[in-house]
Structure 1
Amino acid sequence: MSNTTISIITVVILTVIAVFILLNGKGEGQKLSEDQGIPYITIAAHRGLSGLAPEETTPAYLLALEIGADYLEGDVQRTKDGVLVMFHDDDMTRASNIEQVFPDRAHNTIDTFTFAELQQLDLGSWFNKAHPEFARPSFVGLKFLTLKELIDIAESGENRPGLYLETKSALRYPGVEKEIIDLLTQRGWISKTDITLKPGMIYSSLDKDGAAPIRVADGPGKVILQSFEDESVRIMKELAPNVPRVYLVDQELEAEKGGWKALIDIAKSHDADLGPIGYQAWSWRNKEAHKNGVIVHHYTIDKPWQMKLLRYMGTDGIFTNRADIALEVYRGQKMLPIEEYFKKINY
């Protein structure tokens, strides 16, 4: 049997399984998710629509907003002069031209640069080289985005997505949790009292009309905070107990902490949920988490067959670089040609 035939059979089987699940039952984590006002199945635009635009930049987030992702997801770091900016990596060589602009400091971390220095960097040209099939002249010269500007984007459209924010390398940035929470509180994204689930509000992606505007930011799950560092998750609970939080994990952390159940126990100790890597998406793991009252959002899931398989395995949501594909898979949303969305955001 040829590899092509095997691939076709695999896709058909996964599709049949996914359709069966969608028609005949909802995941065990649905009630757990909806009790927090978190959409089920959650579609978090990982660093924006970063499969089609440079990650954590204005066009990536505007695209995610325009197509209707549930959350704009991103990594918060802090500059030397105290500005909260969106950037994933510990060093900037992969996703900027720092080696040309600051050759002697190319591998330095963000906290060693002022915001003005970072604004000299180009965060778009690398993407055009790495992904020529999606390259655009408008990506050249893209600048760092601040957390304030990301909030502005989330508030700028007909869709009202939530914010899914990671404290990146949190131990390097003492006090960053408070700074993030204070800013979100000032902007009205975090309340000191619980937000009540609104009657008639649909928090299930499986039940939602794909053409209807996203309203995640109108509910209690409008902000989710996340970190790989359990101490940062503990601080999040202490400072903002009403805000959902996620303990991010991978195989290395699982081995270090003593197994899957140990990760669940750590999450529970902080009233947190889990964000495992996709390789940890086995159904028995998800069931164990659900049995303990913990929802699971897996990263980073970009292919339709992966999305369907994880639905079968019992995921409650995914981080994805291709939220457009996830919307088609999980909601049956009919997407416009991607060029139409670029026209809408003027890129």
Structure 2
Amino acid sequence: MSTRIGRQSLRYAGLITATLAAATTLAGTGSETRDVGAQPPLPPDRSLAIGHRGSAYKAPEETMAGYRQAVRDRADILEGDVQLTADGHLILMHDATLTRTTDVEERFPDREPWRPGQLTLEEIRTLDARSWFGEAFAGEPVAELDQLLDLAEQTRTPVMLELKQPGNNAGFEQALADELRSRGVGADGDSRIPYVLVAGFDAASLQEFHEIFPGPEIVYQVGDVPDDEALESYREWADHLMLTVRMSSGADVARVETAGFSTMAGTVDSDVDLRMAIGQGYDSIITNHPERALQLQRRNFREPVPQVQVESIYANAPGDDIQPETGEHVSLLNTTSAPIDMSGWTVRDQAGNIVRLPDGVSIDAGSLLRVYSGPGTDRPGHVYADYGRSFLNNSGGETVVIYNRDGEIVTVGSYLAYPG
């Protein structure tokens, strides 16, 4: 059994990150450099912010641009999903295939279904992983595990590595263990990375990794709050539990921590969900927007009301979710006393689905704009994306992010759904 860093020492890992990152300068593109800067004032007993796939609301997920952004956003821990290439190299990729976040279908049209394990590392290096972010990130490649670990060493930032898609990545537990050992990770190692956590949803894969290499601490992503019997069964191999904030209470979090586990809320992005996680007392928060998770914990934090807010999310329409002229939609509110041009603005859900508003769309002063995923005829206050399928989550809750035409986050909204 590995030695748990537990609640206090996990927070200490974050303090190490904050202290050392202030003196670190990151290399950007070309000759550009970016100073991480001083850590803003935060309470000492705050929840840590784990940068989910980097800082995925600001830069393409699982790319080095995204991880550098997460460091600039002062994420306490950097999270990535580990998978194997055809020639046995470890890369960072969330999905079972490369299609959602890269141009793999265009470059390798004969490799369907385009799993990471079908391409060599050199082939994957040719892919453009900018996703939907546009020309500012043109040519940004898929991140490799070596690159993330180099950044973690440079900035002294802890990392959390998820064993992703174990059914498609036979042997990656051993490959990850070998890579971490080579960098001195472990009780007797001399690693420059303050902490390494290994995470996953698959208990068998996590236990196999723990047997191969008991050095890193294990994060079991259970979701629902486990009962006492389940907690006892996890104690032999798990150190941290990731729970779903919409399914938990402060009492649940306290019970899990009393049983000896550190708690993580995941994945949490909207202000409503972030405030729930902070209020329930989670040790750390896994989020696509680490900067926001920290902002909300600053003492006396205040901010102006955004010009556009998510007024509501109508995810579960009667009948077909994408029926013509009606169905699922997001309602956006203009909080100002003047019209707002919404041309080129973007609505993005938590799974990465994108609706981009066409030219000529606006919201009248103090009025609503309803953005539908289905087909219809655009008219004042209503715009139809004709997305081709439903994308708002009917049962588990949903988070949407609104970006202006310059790609800047304007607001984030969510609705909550509970079982039963």
Structure-2-length-normalised TM-score: 0.58
Judged with a 3 Å threshold, the aligned counterparts in structure 2 of structure 1 residues 160 and 304 are, in CA distance, closer, same or farther, namely: farther
List, as ranges, runs of 4+ consecutive aligned residues in structure 1 with deviation greater than 6 Å: none
2:167 is equivalent to residue 181 of structure 1: no
3-state secondary structure, aligned to 1:245? strand
Judged with a 3 Å threshold, the aligned counterparts in structure 2 of structure 1 residues 239 and 41 are, in CA distance, closer, same or farther, namely: farther
In structure 2, the residue matched to 1:304 is 271
Give the structure with the higher percent strand: 2
Count of residue pairs the alignment pairs up? 266
Judged with a 3 Å threshold, the aligned counterparts in structure 2 of structure 1 residues 291 and 191 are, in CA distance, closer, same or farther, namely: closer
1:224 aligned residue (156, 174, 197): 197
Would you say the 8 A contact 1:236–1:245 is kept in 2?
Answer: no
Higher mean C-alpha deviation, range 91-100 or range 314-323: 91-100
In structure 2, the residue matched to 1:127 is 132
2:56 is equivalent to residue 66 of structure 1: no
Give the letter for the 1:163 counterpart: V
In structure 1, the residue matched to 2:147 is 149
Would you say the 8 A contact 2:245–2:276 is kept in 1?
Answer: no
Quote the offset at 1:250 in angstroms.
Answer: 2.9
Would you say the 8 A contact 1:53–1:127 is kept in 2?
Answer: no
Give the structure with the higher percent helix: 1
In structure 2, the residue matched to 1:48 is 54
In structure 2, the residue matched to 1:79 is 85
2:290 aligned residue (323, 326, 333): 323
2:186 is equivalent to residue 191 of structure 1: yes
Would you say the 8 A contact 1:264–1:274 is kept in 2?
Answer: no
Quote the offset at 1:297 in angstroms.
Answer: 0.5
Quote the offset at 1:138 in angstroms.
Answer: 3.0
Higher mean C-alpha deviation, range 322-331 or range 75-84: 322-331
Would you say the 8 A contact 1:65–1:154 is kept in 2?
Answer: no
Judged with a 3 Å threshold, the aligned counterparts in structure 2 of structure 1 residues 121 and 234 are, in CA distance, closer, same or farther, namely: same
Judged with a 3 Å threshold, the aligned counterparts in structure 2 of structure 1 residues 34 and 235 are, in CA distance, closer, same or farther, namely: farther
Would you say the 8 A contact 2:111–2:118 is kept in 1?
Answer: no
In structure 2, the residue matched to 1:241 is 214
Would you say the 8 A contact 2:87–2:121 is kept in 1?
Answer: yes
In structure 1, the residue matched to 2:7 is 33
Give the letter for the 2:115 counterpart: T
3-state secondary structure, aligned to 2:175? helix
Would you say the 8 A contact 2:200–2:219 is kept in 1?
Answer: yes
2:257 aligned residue (290, 302, 305): 290
Quote the offset at 1:260 in angstroms.
Answer: 4.0
Alignment of 1:161-172 (within 5 A): 161-172=157-168
Percent identity of paired positions between Structure 1 and Structure 2: 27
Higher relative contact order (CA 8 A, sep 6+): 1
Rg: which structure is higher?
2
3-state secondary structure, aligned to 2:88? coil
Judged with a 3 Å threshold, the aligned counterparts in structure 2 of structure 1 residues 103 and 66 are, in CA distance, closer, same or farther, namely: same
Quote the offset at 1:153 in angstroms.
Answer: 1.8
Would you say the 8 A contact 2:222–2:243 is kept in 1?
Answer: yes
1:64-116 deviations in whole A, cap 9, x for unaligned?
12232111100000001011001100012211112222233342321121112
1:30-70 deviations in whole A, cap 9, x for unaligned?
x9322455546221100001110000101100111223211
Would you say the 8 A contact 1:281–1:298 is kept in 2?
Answer: no
In structure 2, the residue matched to 1:11 is none
Distance 2:52 2:170 in 1: 24
Distance 1:286 1:60 in 2: 30
Query: Which consecutive residues of structure 1, in runs of 5 or more, have no partner in the other structure?
Result: 1-30, 129-134, 196-215, 335-347
3-state secondary structure, aligned to 1:104? coil
Would you say the 8 A contact 1:308–1:329 is kept in 2?
Answer: yes
1:142-195 deviations in whole A, cap 9, x for unaligned?
112111111112233xx421111001112432332222122122123x134389
Higher mean C-alpha deviation, range 47-56 or range 35-44: 35-44
Judged with a 3 Å threshold, the aligned counterparts in structure 2 of structure 1 residues 63 and 75 are, in CA distance, closer, same or farther, namely: same
Give the letter for the 2:162 counterpart: E
Higher mean C-alpha deviation, range 36-45 or range 137-146: 36-45
Distance 2:210 2:165 in 1: 18
In structure 2, the residue matched to 1:4 is none
In structure 2, the residue matched to 1:101 is 107
3-state secondary structure, aligned to 2:296? helix
